[in-house]
Amino acid sequence: MISVKRKLVRRPVLFAAGAVLIGVLLFANVVAFMRGLDAPWLLGIALVVDMLVIGAGIVVAAREVLVAEQRTEASQERLGAIVDSAMDAIITTDEAQNIVLFNRAAEQLFRVRREDMIGAPLDRLIPARFSGAHHGHIEQFGRTGVTSRRMGDVTTLWALRPGSEEEFPIEASISQALEDGRRYFTVILRDISVRKQAEEALLASQRELRELSARVLEAREDEKSRIARELHDELGQLLTALKMDLSSLRERLRDTEVAAKLDEMGRLLDQTVSSTRRISADLRPLMLDDLGLADAASWLVDDFGKRYGIASRIEINADGGLEHLSKNVSTTVYRAIQESLTNIARHSGARNAWVLVAAQDGNLEVEVEDDGRGIAPEDLAKAHSLGLRGMRERIAYIGGAFEVARTPRGGTRLRIKVPT
């Protein structure tokens, strides 16, 4: 700052002083030459003064050059200090990919000494398998003339510690500059091992969580299955036996009062049987295991229509594609349809519901649509859409895709696609 001010003040004063001096000198020289023959001593004085002025000019010019040189040196020193104190490794190479600048951070990152690296080929810092590709990239970058860009936008870049097999992932940007007709490339890079590890750990933990949640769901499904089966078979058979006994008793009875009581008991037993079957079917439709997805889904949709008074239709275009589904796939798809229908009954206010199941090209596609008020975008994220989130998780776990959206005419449509 200070030197800039001094420079601004000094230049005009110097010019003015110089101009006055040159004027005086010219005048003195002209006078000296005109009267030179009469007074040779005047000529002598003029000559001495001229030489003094020329000498002073040379001194001033030399000083200027010296100051400029010092300034360049200082600025280079400053730049060097900045480059050296940078946290990121900075490496400059010439056109032949030989290193001409190697900062302290680079020394620390690659665990080498600068003296050993200056003049060395950049290849020593690149794993051999990437070396060829790297050269290609640099050449192309040189041709494009773009001044800088991020390197390895899509893939992870790897660097090599010279003298060892140790590789580490990096993030880098490259820039190019022309200096005295030569092209120089500067790479600024940093080690991202820690970030990479954190990313990988996060992904692994997400994977584990997804697996865990799928296992929990599977275990829950198995448990429900077992209880449903026992309710239906064990309890169901006993109730049936009771019902049979009751009707054989009823046959032999002539007492009308007792007979009326037995009929009443029979009705109660019928209700108990149908409650047991309903509870069992709600837990897990045995039909899904006995008959498969097509029948179970048809029955589910019909039963839903009857229970909630919503006109519900199902269309199945499977052509045998639903016959050998894995238990996981058929359960997931069945539960997704069930969950969607439950949502329709609870939230949509719909009069109609349509279910479409289609098997083609190794995929199972399901659509559940209603003509209700349509799901609000914010509802998709709300707590009560936990059902939706659970569904999404289950479908993702078996490698499928899932989307919920408003239909153009206002209702809600859920689309599922799972590989079979």
Partner 1 sequence: MQVFLVEDSATIRERVAAMLEAVPNAELAGHAADADGAIREILAGAPDVVLLDISLAGGSGFDVLRAVRPQAPQIDFYVLSNVSAYPYRQLADTLGVRGFFDKSTEFERVRELIAERAARTPA
301-340 footprint of partner 1 as x/- string (CB under 8 A): -x--------------------------------------
User: Out of 296, 314, 322, 416, which residue is the one contacting partner 1 (CB under 8 A)?
Assistant: 296
User: Tokens 């990919």 identify what position?
Assistant: 97
- Between CA 402 and CA 332 the distance in angstroms is 12
Residue 25 interacting with partner 1 (CB under 8 A)? no
User: Out of 74, 241, 258, 268, which residue is the one contacting partner 1 (CB under 8 A)?
Assistant: 241
**Shortest distance, CB of residue 312 to partner 1, whole angstroms?**
15
- Between CA 184 and CA 97 the distance in angstroms is 9
Tell me the two tokens of residue 385.
Answer: 């859409």
Contact of 105 with 88, CB cutoff 8 Å: yes
Stretch that binds partner 1, among 23-31, 43-51, 265-273, 325-333 (CB under 8 A): 265-273
Residue placing its CB nearer to partner 1 in the complex, 189 or 239:
239
**Shortest distance, CB of residue 248 to partner 1, whole angstroms?**
7
Q: What is the bridge-based pairing of β-strands 182-191 and 167-179? A: antiparallel
From the number of C-beta atoms within 10 Å of its C-beta (0-12, 13-18, 19+), residue 228 rates as buried
Residue 269 interacting with partner 1 (CB under 8 A)? yes
CA Rg value for the chain: 45
Residue 275 interacting with partner 1 (CB under 8 A)? no
Helix, strand, coil shares, percent, the chain, to 5? 60, 20, 20
Residue 155 interacting with partner 1 (CB under 8 A)? no
User: Out of 24, 244, 311, 376, which residue is the one contacting partner 1 (CB under 8 A)?
Assistant: 244
- Between CA 394 and CA 408 the distance in angstroms is 27
H or E stretch including 418? strand 412-419
- Between CA 149 and CA 171 the distance in angstroms is 12
Residue 299 interacting with partner 1 (CB under 8 A)? yes
- Between CA 412 and CA 409 the distance in angstroms is 9
**Shortest distance, CB of residue 154 to partner 1, whole angstroms?**
51
Stretch that binds partner 1, among 117-125, 174-182, 266-274, 339-347 (CB under 8 A): 266-274
Tell me the two tokens of residue 249.
Answer: 């008793």
Residue placing its CB nearer to partner 1 in the complex, 84 or 295:
295
User: Out of 73, 264, 270, 282, which residue is the one contacting partner 1 (CB under 8 A)?
Assistant: 270
- Between CA 271 and CA 257 the distance in angstroms is 22
Stretch that binds partner 1, among 17-25, 119-127, 287-295, 340-348 (CB under 8 A): 287-295
Which residues, 6 or more positions from 111, have their beta carbon under 8 angstroms from its beta carbon?
Answer: 161
Stretch that binds partner 1, among 86-94, 294-302, 337-345, 359-367 (CB under 8 A): 294-302
User: Out of 199, 208, 211, 233, which residue is the one contacting partner 1 (CB under 8 A)?
Assistant: 233
User: Tokens 């200070």 identify what position?
Assistant: 2
Beta bridge partners of 170: 157, 191
H or E stretch including 361? none
**Shortest distance, CB of residue 257 to partner 1, whole angstroms?**
21
Please name which of 218, 168, 174 lies closest in space to residue 196, comparing C-alpha atoms: 168
Residue placing its CB nearer to partner 1 in the complex, 192 or 273:
273
User: Out of 143, 248, 256, 362, which residue is the one contacting partner 1 (CB under 8 A)?
Assistant: 248
Stretch that binds partner 1, among 154-162, 208-216, 255-263, 282-290 (CB under 8 A): 282-290
Residue placing its CB nearer to partner 1 in the complex, 29 or 298:
298
**Shortest distance, CB of residue 246 to partner 1, whole angstroms?**
10
Please name which of 329, 317, 313 lies closest in space to residue 400, comparing C-alpha atoms: 329
* Interface contacts to partner 1, rule CB under 8 A: 232-233, 236-241, 243-245, 247-248, 269-270, 273, 277, 286-287, 290-291, 295-296, 298-299, 302
